[in-house]
A and B are shown apart, each in its own frame.
Chain A
Amino acid sequence: MALWMQISSGSETPIYQQLVEQISGAIARGELRTGDKLPAVRALAAELVINPNTVARAYTLLEQSGLVTTKTGSGTFVSDPTLRHADAAQINALAERMDTLISHAVNLGLDRGALVALFEKRLEKFASTLDKGEAENG
């Protein structure tokens, strides 16, 4: 499976978090689809030249947030999105992050129209996953 990952050391973001963000981003954008196998822990660690425990930790976190499932012996696979449900706390946290984004845009001088247009434009990147989600949710 061709997922090229990049980590940068010396960043404020811990490496495992960078992995989580990249993988979850890829899943959200549809680059990784349901049932796709993530690289084996050791293979990814060797390729990125990082400790295998770091990769394992990232995979564990992804599993805890329901994005992937691990089958012992086979590997780690992207899980079925229809089985994911956001609870109230998660939606609240998301709302707060949106507030940060919006305040940043406001400080830059964007008006409502410009902000919405920008938002729609960026949504295109995630079209495949969103539309599929919509179709499945009816």
Chain B
Amino acid sequence: MAEIVLETKGLTKYYGAKPALDHLDLRVPRGCICGFLGRNGAGKTTAIKLMLGLLTPTAGSATLLGCDSTALTPAIRQRIGYVTEGHRLLRWMSIGRLEEFQRAFFPKQWDGRLFAEMIEYFELSRRQKIKHLSNGQRAQVSLALALAPNPELLVMDDPTLGLDAAIRRQFLEGMIELIMRQGRTVLFSSHILADVERVADRIVVIDKGVLRADCPLEQFRMSVRKVVVHFENSAPADVELAGLLHFRRSERQLELTLVGVGDAEVADWAARAGAERFDFVEMNLEDQFIEFTAPPHRRRLFQWEKA
């Protein structure tokens, strides 16, 4: 059983009367790249800030590298890299000065050569001031600042928001490079499902402050499925099946979106419902995520055809 580097127990955060996070129970094992998924406002940033001790929980607790999040010691913070939302760095500083500043907090573990190589690769100069950099360049500096201390745990809050494909790829490369070193763990939240699919081996899905999934990526991919069921005469108007997320009906077909339903159970149900045959439809991660987090009985946003 792999060591758990990040754990939350009943983590809850209320803003006024509304819960931003409701009893989150999470366990992230060492050595994985964990993708943190959720719609906008689902509570991802709140969860990350709670884990890093920037917010205090209303109830429950979070533990990082064995240390309670509300009391993270300087020694523990030294082992954690944090890329903040929006890559907000100190604007008036030059890249060189910012490196000096950051380096002071990681005296023994700073990889100056890596930082220099990355800055050179990004075609930036140490003399450039942060306020003169574009969003993309600031993100690149942010990545270099986070990787140079060779962190044991790297936490990134929506690191590729608004960045072009090339820079997004650089972030993924950085994550892969880090994970190949012994005992490193990466946690990152993202809306780009394709990126998550590339590099993550675990995913966590949060929906309206509630944990919906915390499992290996593969397991999620195999669990959320669509099956088209064909009927000889008329498809039934209603469907009773455990694990059903949504269904669509046309004259002689039913399209069911299921989660965690095995082949045998589907076959069983199809037989009982009197189906002619059924075919599984493959979905990509983005479609799976959309279906998984869509509210039940949802309508489509735009109605193209009548009935």
**A interface residue numbers (CB < 8 A to B):** 7, 9-16, 42, 45-46, 49-54, 57
Q: Is the CB of B177 within 8 A of A51?
A: no
Give every chain B residue within 8 A of A46 (Cβ-Cβ).
173, 176-177, 180
Q: Is the CB of B179 within 8 A of A51?
A: yes
**A-B pairs with beta carbons under 8 Å apart, 24 shown:** A7-B198, A9-B197, A10-B193, A10-B194, A10-B286, A12-B282, A12-B283, A12-B284, A15-B197, A45-B176, A46-B173, A46-B176, A46-B180, A49-B169, A49-B173, A51-B176, A51-B179, A51-B199, A51-B200, A51-B201, A52-B176, A52-B179, A53-B201, A57-B218
Give every chain A residue within 8 A of B176 (Cβ-Cβ).
45-46, 49-52
- Taking residues whose C-beta sits less than 8 angstroms from the other chain, chain B's interface range is 20 to 34
Distance in Å from the Cβ of A50 to the closest Cβ of chain B?
A: 5
User: Would you give the 0/1 interface string for B261-296, flagging 1 where the beta carbon is closer than 8 Å to chain A?
Assistant: 000000000000000000000111110000000000
In the A-B complex, the 7 residue pairs with the closest CB atoms: A10-B194, A12-B282, A9-B194, A9-B198, A53-B201, A12-B284, A49-B172
Distance in Å from the Cβ of A15 to the closest Cβ of chain B?
A: 7
Give every chain B residue within 8 A of A45 (Cβ-Cβ).
176, 180
- Sample of 6 further A-B pairs with CB below 8 A, known A42-B180, A51-B199: A10-B193, A15-B197, A15-B198, A51-B33, A51-B179, A51-B198
Q: Is the CB of A54 within 8 A of B201?
A: yes
Q: Which of B96-143 contact A (CB under 8 A)?
A: none
Rounded to whole angstroms, the CA-CA distance of A52 and B172 in the bound complex is 13
In the complex, the chain B residue whose C-beta lies closest to that of A9 is B194
Give every chain B residue within 8 A of A50 (Cβ-Cβ).
176, 198-199
Rounded to whole angstroms, the CA-CA distance of A51 and B136 in the bound complex is 24
Give every chain A residue within 8 A of B195 (Cβ-Cβ).
9
Q: Is the CB of B221 within 8 A of A14?
A: yes
Give every chain B residue within 8 A of A16 (Cβ-Cβ).
218
Q: Is the CB of B200 within 8 A of A10?
A: no
User: Would you give the 0/1 interface string for B136-180, flagging 1 where the beta carbon is closer than 8 Å to chain A?
Assistant: 000000000000000000000000000000000100110011011
In the complex, the chain A residue whose C-beta lies closest to that of B288 is A12
Give every chain A residue within 8 A of B197 (Cβ-Cβ).
9-10, 15
Give every chain A residue within 8 A of B283 (Cβ-Cβ).
12
Rounded to whole angstroms, the CA-CA distance of A12 and B173 in the bound complex is 23
Give every chain A residue within 8 A of B177 (Cβ-Cβ).
46
Rounded to whole angstroms, the CA-CA distance of A10 and B173 in the bound complex is 17
Give every chain A residue within 8 A of B221 (Cβ-Cβ).
14
In the complex, the chain B residue whose C-beta lies closest to that of A49 is B172
Rounded to whole angstroms, the CA-CA distance of A46 and B169 in the bound complex is 12
Q: Which of B9-41 contact A (CB under 8 A)?
A: 33
Q: Is the CB of B282 within 8 A of A49?
A: no
Give every chain B residue within 8 A of A10 (Cβ-Cβ).
193-194, 197, 284-286
In the complex, the chain B residue whose C-beta lies closest to that of A54 is B201
Rounded to whole angstroms, the CA-CA distance of A54 and B199 in the bound complex is 9
Q: Which of B185-201 contact A (CB under 8 A)?
A: 193-195, 197-201
Give every chain B residue within 8 A of A11 (Cβ-Cβ).
284
Q: Is the CB of B198 within 8 A of A49?
A: yes
Distance in Å from the Cβ of B177 to the closest Cβ of chain A?
A: 7
Rounded to whole angstroms, the CA-CA distance of A122 and B33 in the bound complex is 41
Give every chain A residue within 8 A of B284 (Cβ-Cβ).
10-12
Rounded to whole angstroms, the CA-CA distance of A129 and B125 in the bound complex is 54
Give every chain B residue within 8 A of A12 (Cβ-Cβ).
282-284
Distance in Å from the Cβ of A103 to the closest Cβ of chain B?
A: 13
